[in-house]
Structure 1
Amino acid sequence: MLIDISLVVIAYLLGSFSSAVVVCKLMGYADPRTLGSGNPGATNVLRHGGKKAAIITLILDMLKGVVAVLLAKFLTDHSLFVALSALAVFLGHLYPVFFNFKGGKGVATALGVLLALHWMVGVGALLTWLAMAFSFRYSSLAALITAAMTPIYMYWFSGIEHYIVANVIITALIFWRHQSNIQKLVNGTEGKIKFSPSRS
């Protein structure tokens, strides 16, 4: 039980590592929390730091989710604690203890979590996001549609109750964190993805 609880704590601390802030600082860019949407995530980094910084941020954010869940799977046989670790690393990204609990919206970390919980769910989520992003060019809309679909994927491919519940909670939190984006989409003021940023 002590190991199981420790896994959840470690997952939260791992999630609290803000890839966007660290990458931008190391590459000489401004703190993404002070620019644009103020979100420390890959999309905001892309807009203000360029493709290289955004790709590194995206990969690191995904890796947090992958590592936390795979570590839990390796060290415990309890699907409940694997699911709790998945939630913990996601919550760490949203509310990082190392960055005054001001984190990102969790889309990339959620993708990493889903890939590690069940790779087919992760692949389904990735393909859904890419299809929506390239079709509509709204990162937030792609994220919301993908988030809405993933519990269905998890039920279909995994069928593990604890994973499904964790997935539903992650989906709800993604929608919660995208409230301002939803309002902008409704108002027609949401910014579109620019695949050729000025800085790279």
Structure 2
Amino acid sequence: MKIIASLLIGYLIGCFQSAYIISRVKGQLDIRKYGSGNAGTTNVIRVVGWKAGIITFFMDVCKAVIGVLVCSFIFDDVLMGYYAGVGVVIGHNWPVFLGFRGGKGIAATIGLLLAVDVRIGLIIIALMAVVIFISRYVSLGSILMAISIPILMAIFHTDTPEYIILGVILMISALYKHRANIKRLLNGTENKLGHKKDLSEKE
């Protein structure tokens, strides 16, 4: 019951869709109808601008941190906080109040990892930063970050299988949401960071 409650609390927090709200406030538009159609930081940056994108990223990180901390406190168990964080990512990706059309959960995942184990959070931030700086592909950084999660969980939490299992779930979720990006990366047609989308264009 604690696991179900943690997932549900996290899911409801995750349904607070930062990209959708900010794009409505800043540009009076539904971000899901422009650019890549994704309600996330990268698409907000391309369609609305850097400032809106940074605010979106910060809010998505914070909502995952809040989810983890709330359930860790309620149940006096960091593992329940971890479950709540996974719920936040699921709610962000598939928000019930927006027809289950959300983002890809990368910023929320970063917040989750920082709250659950700051060592892992800092490592994946560094990994993403290096990959994005070198390649200019946000999606590539996100994909490699996702793959690293269960590996890092296995290294730092060898004695807690649930940490690793939840890491695998996060990885699968991220890879599934990035399946179109993976295809474009393989085809050499993925957009690099800094590419400005036409507001009438939707991939």
The TM-score, its normalising length taken from structure 1, stands at 0.91
Mapped pair 1:99 → 2:98: yes
Deviates more, 1:156-165 or 1:44-53: 156-165
Residues 163-188 of structure 1 deviation map (CA, whole Å, 9 limit, x = unaligned): 22111110011001111111101111
Which residue number in structure 2 is paired with residue 157 of structure 1?
156
Matches for 1:124-139 after TM superposition, within 5 Å: 124-139=123-138
Unaligned runs of 5+ in 2: 199-203
Between the aligned partners of 1:81 and 1:173, the Cα distance in structure 2 is 19
Matches for 1:103-122 after TM superposition, within 5 Å: 103-122=102-121
Between the aligned partners of 1:7 and 1:176, the Cα distance in structure 2 is 23
Between the aligned partners of 1:4 and 1:170, the Cα distance in structure 2 is 16
Residues 130-177 of structure 1 deviation map (CA, whole Å, 9 limit, x = unaligned): 000001000111100111112222222233322221111100110011
Count of residues in Structure 1 that have an aligned counterpart in Structure 2 = 197
Between the aligned partners of 1:94 and 1:155, the Cα distance in structure 2 is 25
Mapped pair 1:8 → 2:31: no
Which residue number in structure 1 is paired with residue 201 of structure 2?
none
Which residue number in structure 2 is paired with residue 191 of structure 1?
191
Between the aligned partners of 1:5 and 1:88, the Cα distance in structure 2 is 10
Between the aligned partners of 1:59 and 1:197, the Cα distance in structure 2 is 22
C-alpha displacement of 1:82: 3.0
Mapped pair 1:175 → 2:175: yes
Check whether the contact 2:13–2:67 (CA below 8 A) recurs between aligned residues. yes
Residues 39-60 of structure 1 deviation map (CA, whole Å, 9 limit, x = unaligned): 0000000001111000000011
SS for the counterpart of 2:38 is coil
Amino acid at match of 2:121: G
Between the aligned partners of 1:197 and 1:59, the Cα distance in structure 2 is 22
The TM-score, its normalising length taken from structure 2, stands at 0.90
Between the aligned partners of 1:8 and 1:85, the Cα distance in structure 2 is 5
Between the aligned partners of 1:163 and 1:195, the Cα distance in structure 2 is 37
Between the aligned partners of 1:69 and 1:196, the Cα distance in structure 2 is 34
Check whether the contact 2:27–2:48 (CA below 8 A) recurs between aligned residues. no
1:56 to 1:177, Cα distance in 2 relative to 1, 3 A: same
Instruction: Give runs of ≥4 in structure 1 deviating > 4 Å.
Output: 195-198
C-alpha displacement of 1:80: 4.9
C-alpha displacement of 1:86: 2.1
Check whether the contact 1:5–1:81 (CA below 8 A) recurs between aligned residues. no
C-alpha displacement of 1:9: 1.6
Between the aligned partners of 1:187 and 1:29, the Cα distance in structure 2 is 34
Between the aligned partners of 2:15 and 2:103, the Cα distance in structure 1 is 10
Amino acid at match of 2:93: L
Between the aligned partners of 2:63 and 2:10, the Cα distance in structure 1 is 8
Deviates more, 1:154-163 or 1:14-23: 154-163
SS for the counterpart of 1:27 is helix
C-alpha displacement of 1:69: 0.8
1:193 to 1:78, Cα distance in 2 relative to 1, 3 A: same
